[in-house]
Chains A and B, each alone.
Chain A
Amino acid sequence: MKTATKKKSAPAAFPLDRAGLLKAYRTMRTIREFEERLHAEFAKGDIPGFVHLYAGEEAAGTGIMMHLQDKDRIASTHRGHGHCIAKGVDPKAMMAEIYGKASGSCRGKGGSMHIADLSKGMMGANGILGAGAPLACGAALAAKFRGDGAVGISFIGDGASNQGTFLESLNLAAVWNLPAIFVVENNGYAESTSRDYAVAVDSYVDRAAGFGLPGVTVDGLDFFTVYEAAGEIIKRAREGGGPALLECKMVRMYGHFEGDQQAYRGKGEVEDIRANKDCLKMFSERVIEAGIIARGELEAIDRECLAVIDEALAYAKAAPLPKPADLLNDVYVSY
């Protein structure tokens, strides 16, 4: 595989059929509505702790996860809601988890930063930046032993791409030729510090090359480009071709965490993202212009997604709280 930088996919052909396009749109819209609703609800003060929103980044997670099955494992980041939804985790259980409820994905013991569902191959959002990379290598190693053609994918932000765990994992994956994929979600900010300040190389393709891995940089706002690049990389890994790095250049619609005043952003930056760099708008325009999907169909999906989130929120708010005895259980399998 050559290392390359791809800007835009070919406008004429779509890599997915109509059903696939509708599914992708539904996933992205569900993530967007989930995050927009959390933004609104968090401001009311009902949600405990820290929440990091994936709004604006939907095309990347969805474009990659469309290629995966439950047997494929992902190790996510602190900004993990989008990865969860795209990997098939139930939004109701996720919402209940974020509210700290007993019927949450993790029975209220994990919260936003630790949502996991191993039955779906979601190995957890992670509060430790860079910690998921070695875990994804482990998932890839297990897949290699099983010989089931599964892959392990580590999502990592541009900030955590400076962690030793990430760099060590690139080397380990290359040395052991693991079916591991490292997705750098480059949204331009490590918390409040710009990517350009904190990362010495201009391109992650160069960083991958330094560890003996092929790398590809794509416009992470363009679902189709992400989908195609991820498809090639994942196929190659499944066939024993080894690890690769995929850099998705993207934007963050909200702050690092909810409540972040974002004084570090340039004037008009967020407005520009909303107006001109919205990956969902870009997707919609493409498929409508091509005459494959009608606007009305997408609007119908929008309403259905809204209903899913309404239902998830109502479920979460009505869900039972953990019991005092839950404090002490599930520390060990046996002790």
Chain B
Amino acid sequence: MARTLTMRQAINEALDQEMARDQNVILMGEDIAGGQGGDGELDAWGGPLGVTKGLYHKHPGRVLDTPLSESAFIGAAIGAAACGMRPVAELMFLDFMGVCFDQIFNQAAKFKYMFGGKAQTPIVIRAMVGAGFRAAAQHSQMLTPLFTHIPGLKVVCPSNAYDAKGLLIQSIRDNDPVIFCEHKNLYDSQADVPAESYAIPFGEANVVRDGGDCTIVAYGLMVGRAMEAAKQLSPKGPKGGVECEVIDLRTLSPIDWDTVIDSVERTGRLVCVDEANPRCSIASDVSAMVAQECFKALKGPIRMVTAPHTPVPFSPVLEDLYIPSAAAIAAAVTKTMAQ
């Protein structure tokens, strides 16, 4: 039975159902319950944005508030994963990876390969990503490309509540380390979400809009903006005349090359949208692959719509300029259609 849930509720439900299914699933993170050791309410927060609220009392002893000590607790989650647990560690903001990155990319990502295939590290690291929250340069980044670069890691970034639940369940059941990126501006977005448990396989992009003129590839918050641009450009819209196919990548590693390539083979045009900074981004990665694989099918230059090569600014007027807009995406489509 499907109900309308927010992405926040969908993530909470996925964690709850997986914890009920498998006793080895534990949660760790800063303030994921909140209120430890104080005189007030326990589970006071449920994470800074309330995503894990309620799980502390539902699953006694398995929701662990940690000290502000990312190296230690992310590393401990990785060590516990290598010893048979299935920890879901919350890094709060992905921007905090800087203080624990060694544990992620030199330890978790490499155990399987470095130990000759004889180890596995089934850990999920959940973290908030993305701009638009007026949270400034150190709490707003879209650092997905830093993780997709690293063999051994899987990287997931859902665009809606339905995918968030299914992809998080898959992440927890997956036997490799997964970086699960939650866009903070999507927590209140709503979708129909089945009450029962379901897993969405990795490496399967979602074609969220069919169209024959231009392919738009996006993920996370940018999927909605791409859809908005596609709507503006369609014959029914004010600008008229262009039908875009919009692909939501859903998982960035593994990435569904087949769906992207099949689409560009049909449309002959590609616009890559990425909230990350432009250099060595998901957008540049997809562009390079399509240029290599679909050269003959291309009717116009590939265009990338990304954040600029700057940190995320604080002032709302600047931050709104920083985040790729539907108008910028529509302009990029128009530009590639003109050539």
Asked whether, in the complex, the Cβ of A131 is within 8 Å of the Cβ of B175, the reply is no
Chain B residues within 8 Å of A133, by CB: 72, 75
Asked whether, in the complex, the Cβ of A105 is within 8 Å of the Cβ of B116, the reply is yes
How far does the Cβ of B253 sit from chain A's closest Cβ, in whole Å? 8
Binds A, one of B100-108, B230-238, B304-312, B316-324: B100-108
Which of A106, A134, A176, A334 sits near B115, CB closer than 8 Å?
A: A106
Which of B67, B87, B107, B154 sits near A135, CB closer than 8 Å?
A: B107
Which of B24, B80, B115, B117 sits near A138, CB closer than 8 Å?
A: B80
Which of A73, A331, A332 sits near B83, CB closer than 8 Å?
A: A73
- Nearest B residue to A121 by beta-carbon distance? B83
How far does the Cβ of B99 sit from chain A's closest Cβ, in whole Å? 8
Asked whether, in the complex, the Cβ of A335 is within 8 Å of the Cβ of B254, the reply is yes
Binds B, one of A28-36, A141-149, A261-269, A273-281: A141-149
8 A Cβ contacts from A265-303 to B: none
Asked whether, in the complex, the Cβ of B114 is within 8 Å of the Cβ of A136, the reply is no
Chain B residues within 8 Å of A152, by CB: 79
Query: A110 near B: Cβ within 8 Å?
Result: yes
How far does the Cβ of A330 sit from chain B's closest Cβ, in whole Å? 4
Q: In the complex, A128→B111 CA distance in Å? A: 13
Q: In the complex, A108→B77 CA distance in Å? A: 27
Chain B residues within 8 Å of A145, by CB: 24, 26, 80, 85
8 A Cβ contacts from B132-178 to A: 151-152, 154, 174-176
Asked whether, in the complex, the Cβ of A171 is within 8 Å of the Cβ of B112, the reply is no
Chain B residues within 8 Å of A176, by CB: 64
Chain A residues within 8 Å of B113, by CB: 109, 330-331
Query: A312 near B: Cβ within 8 Å?
Result: no
- Nearest B residue to A122 by beta-carbon distance? B115
Asked whether, in the complex, the Cβ of B67 is within 8 Å of the Cβ of A331, the reply is no
Asked whether, in the complex, the Cβ of A332 is within 8 Å of the Cβ of B176, the reply is yes
8 A Cβ contacts from B195-235 to A: 203
How far does the Cβ of B235 sit from chain A's closest Cβ, in whole Å? 40
Query: B74 near A: Cβ within 8 Å?
Result: yes
How far does the Cβ of B152 sit from chain A's closest Cβ, in whole Å? 6
Per-position contact with B for A147-159: 1 when CB-CB < 8 Å, else 0? 0000010000000
8 A Cβ contacts from A299-335 to B: 329-335
Asked whether, in the complex, the Cβ of B76 is within 8 Å of the Cβ of A116, the reply is no
- Nearest B residue to A168 by beta-carbon distance? B72
Query: A249 near B: Cβ within 8 Å?
Result: no
Chain B residues within 8 Å of A329, by CB: 117
Q: In the complex, A332→B151 CA distance in Å? A: 8
Given known A106-B118, A332-B152, A332-B154, contact A172–B82 (CB-CB < 8 A): no
Chain B residues within 8 Å of A109, by CB: 113-117
Asked whether, in the complex, the Cβ of A142 is within 8 Å of the Cβ of B83, the reply is yes
Chain A residues within 8 Å of B120, by CB: 333
Asked whether, in the complex, the Cβ of A124 is within 8 Å of the Cβ of B79, the reply is no
Which of B71, B84, B117, B175 sits near A164, CB closer than 8 Å?
A: B71
- Nearest A residue to B84 by beta-carbon distance? A142
Query: B15 near A: Cβ within 8 Å?
Result: no
Query: B78 near A: Cβ within 8 Å?
Result: yes
Q: In the complex, A171→B85 CA distance in Å? A: 22
Asked whether, in the complex, the Cβ of A118 is within 8 Å of the Cβ of B118, the reply is yes
Query: A213 near B: Cβ within 8 Å?
Result: no
Chain B residues within 8 Å of A171, by CB: 67, 69, 72
Chain B residues within 8 Å of A131, by CB: 75, 102-103, 106-107
Interface size on B, residues (CB 8 A): 45
Chain B residues within 8 Å of A75, by CB: 79
Q: In the complex, A176→B79 CA distance in Å? A: 15
Query: B187 near A: Cβ within 8 Å?
Result: no
Asked whether, in the complex, the Cβ of A124 is within 8 Å of the Cβ of B80, the reply is no
- Nearest B residue to A109 by beta-carbon distance? B116
Query: A114 near B: Cβ within 8 Å?
Result: yes
Q: In the complex, A82→B113 CA distance in Å? A: 23
8 A Cβ contacts from A150-182 to B: 152, 164-165, 168-169, 171-172, 175-176
Chain A residues within 8 Å of B114, by CB: 106, 109-110, 114, 116, 124
How far does the Cβ of B36 sit from chain A's closest Cβ, in whole Å? 10
Query: A107 near B: Cβ within 8 Å?
Result: yes
Per-position contact with A for B83-96: 1 when CB-CB < 8 Å, else 0? 11101000000000
How far does the Cβ of B41 sit from chain A's closest Cβ, in whole Å? 21
Asked whether, in the complex, the Cβ of B79 is within 8 Å of the Cβ of A142, the reply is yes
- Nearest B residue to A174 by beta-carbon distance? B67
Chain B residues within 8 Å of A184, by CB: none
Chain A residues within 8 Å of B67, by CB: 168, 171-172, 175
Asked whether, in the complex, the Cβ of B112 is within 8 Å of the Cβ of A332, the reply is yes
Given known A116-B119, A118-B82, A142-B84, contact A335–B75 (CB-CB < 8 A): no
Asked whether, in the complex, the Cβ of A128 is within 8 Å of the Cβ of B69, the reply is no
Query: B66 near A: Cβ within 8 Å?
Result: yes
Asked whether, in the complex, the Cβ of B116 is within 8 Å of the Cβ of A172, the reply is no
Which of A106, A114, A137, A331 sits near B76, CB closer than 8 Å?
A: A137
Q: In the complex, A171→B84 CA distance in Å? A: 23
Asked whether, in the complex, the Cβ of A138 is within 8 Å of the Cβ of B254, the reply is no
Query: A123 near B: Cβ within 8 Å?
Result: yes
How far does the Cβ of A82 sit from chain B's closest Cβ, in whole Å? 19
How far does the Cβ of A126 sit from chain B's closest Cβ, in whole Å? 8
Q: In the complex, A211→B339 CA distance in Å? A: 65
Chain A residues within 8 Å of B82, by CB: 118, 123, 135, 138-139
10 closest A-B pairs by beta carbon, nearest first, are A138-B79, A134-B75, A107-B116, A330-B117, A135-B79, A168-B72, A106-B116, A142-B83, A138-B80, A333-B175
A134-B72, A137-B76, A141-B80 given; name 6 further pairs at CB < 8 Å: A105-B116, A116-B118, A134-B79, A138-B81, A138-B87, A146-B84
Interface CB pairs A-B, < 8 A, 12? A106-B118, A107-B117, A138-B83, A138-B85, A141-B80, A142-B79, A142-B85, A165-B71, A165-B103, A169-B72, A330-B117, A331-B152
